[in-house]
Structure 1
Amino acid sequence: MTTTQQLDLALINGYLEVLDLEVIQQMLDLYRQQSILYLTAISAAIDETNDKTWQEQCHKMKGAAASAGLCQVHQKLIAIEKTTEAWQVRADHLSALALLNQQAIDTFKQWLDAQ
């Protein structure tokens, strides 16, 4: 996937206009740490078959992904946040989300390295 598909470059370049690269790196590091917590909580929601926790954690991660400029992660979370699909289907969504999230973080790191 290309950088423009993964990242909201208008948002991130806007950050770059007012923030140091180091601050943007810290922002990405914080997002990465938080996303691990969100993914763990979403997984727990699946284990507990808890719709409320599923929606709450997807919603939180959706906002964080948008703030970090991770377009495809944000779009995936929009698509699955309010799903009522079977829990096995949700587990599949979680696997896809985790992979997409890691790809987006890697793409963001590459973008940072190129600055």
Structure 2
Amino acid sequence: MTTKHKIYTMSFAKVYPCYVAKAEKKDRMKEEVDEIIRWLTGYSQEELEAHIEKETDFETFLAEAPEMNPSRKLIKGVVCGIRVENIEEPTMQEIRYMDKLIDELAKGKAMEKILRG
């Protein structure tokens, strides 16, 4: 029996404020964080807020996403020392895609580039 990675069972609502804080520390806005998450997952703003309020765990948050953006496969680079494009476990890869997009936001990248426009 394999045990799930701790982040899978962690509430998305616990991680979300960290994303917002990371962005705001670099003069970016919560709205941009939300836009990135909506782009990646297909959630509406109302659905996103409902999951935060419900404290949905990360695995469920991603599993119930209306439509994961096909352009997310264009996300490349390193998060926590690991290349996101080489992560084999699908849920972990989706989490790292989100981390990478938030990193790009915090590094001042233009939204059009972050959203692979």
Q: Into which bin does the TM-score normalised by the smaller protein fall?
A: 0.3 to 0.5
Relative to the length of structure 2, the TM-score reads: 0.32
Point out which structure has higher relative CO (alpha carbons under 8 A, 6+ apart).
Answer: 1
Q: TM-score, normalised by structure 1?
A: 0.32
More helix by share: 1
Q: Which has the larger radius of gyration?
A: 1
